[in-house]
A = this chain, B = another copy of it.
Amino acid sequence: MRTYRLVIACPDRVGIVAKVSNFLALYNGWINEASHHSDEQSGWFFMRHEIRAESLPFGIEAFREAFAPIAEEFSMTWRVTDSAQKKRVVLMASRESHCLADLLHRWHTDELDCDIPCVISNHNDLRSMVEWHGIPFFHVPVDPKDKAPAFAEVSRLVQEHAADVVVLARYMQILPPQLCQDYAEKVINIHHSFLPSFVGAKPYHQAALRGVKLIGATCHYVTEELDAGPIIEQDVVRVSHADSIEDMVRFGRDVEKMVLARGLRYHLEDRVLVHGNKTVVFD
Using CB atoms and an 8 Å cutoff, list the residues of chain A in contact with chain B: 14-15, 17-19, 21-22, 24-26, 28-41, 46, 55, 97-98, 101-102, 105, 109, 111, 128, 132, 194-198, 210-214, 216, 230-236, 240-242, 244, 250, 253-254, 258, 277-281, 283
Q: How far is the CA of A105 from the CA of B258 in the complex (A)?
A: 15
Known A31-B38, A241-B281, A280-B241: A211·B231 in contact at CB below 8 Å:
yes
Which residues of chain B are within 8 angstroms of A15 by Cβ–Cβ distance? 25
Q: Cβ of B196 and Cβ of A210 under 8 Å apart? A: yes
Residues of the B chain whose Cβ atoms lie less than 8 Å from the Cβ of A258: 254
Some 24 contacts from A to B, beta carbons below 8 A apart, are A14-B25, A14-B28, A17-B24, A17-B25, A17-B31, A18-B18, A18-B24, A18-B26, A22-B22, A31-B36, A31-B38, A33-B242, A34-B34, A37-B241, A39-B241, A101-B101, A132-B132, A194-B194, A194-B197, A195-B197, A211-B278, A214-B235, A241-B279, A241-B280
> With A132-B132, A214-B235, A241-B280 in contact, is A21–B17 under 8 Å at CB?
yes
* Chain B proximity of A261: nearest CB distance (Å): 8
Beta-carbon contact of B241 and A278 below 8 Å: yes
A21–B210 alpha-carbon span in the complex (Å): 33
**Inter-chain contacts of A213 with B (CB < 8 A):** 231-234, 281
Kindly provide the distance from the CB of A178 to the nearest chain B CB, expressed in whole angstroms. Answer: 25
Provide the residues of chain B in CB contact with A37, threshold 8 Å. 241-242
9 more contacts with CB within 8 A, not counting A17-B34, A33-B36, are A14-B28, A14-B55, A34-B34, A97-B105, A194-B194, A195-B197, A211-B231, A214-B216, A236-B236
Nearest neighbor of A213 in chain B, beta-carbon distance? B234
Which of chain B's residues have a CB closer than 8 A to the CB of A234? 212-214
Q: A212-B195, A231-B210 are in contact. Are A30 and B55 (CB under 8 A)?
A: no
A18 contact set on B, CB distance < 8 A: 18, 21-22, 24-26
Q: Within the assembled complex, what's the spacing in Å between the Cα atoms of A102 and B106?
A: 11
Contacts of A198 in B (CB 8 A): 196
Chain B residues whose CB sits within 8 angstroms of the CB of A277 once the complex forms: 210-211
The 4 A-B residue pairs with the shortest CB-CB distance, nearest first, are A211-B278, A18-B25, A18-B21, A17-B21
Q: Which residues of chain B come closer than 8 Å to A132, judged between CB atoms?
A: 128, 132
Q: Residues of B contacting A36 with CB < 8 Å? A: 31, 33-35
- Shortest distance in angstroms between A32's beta carbon and chain B's nearest beta carbon? 6
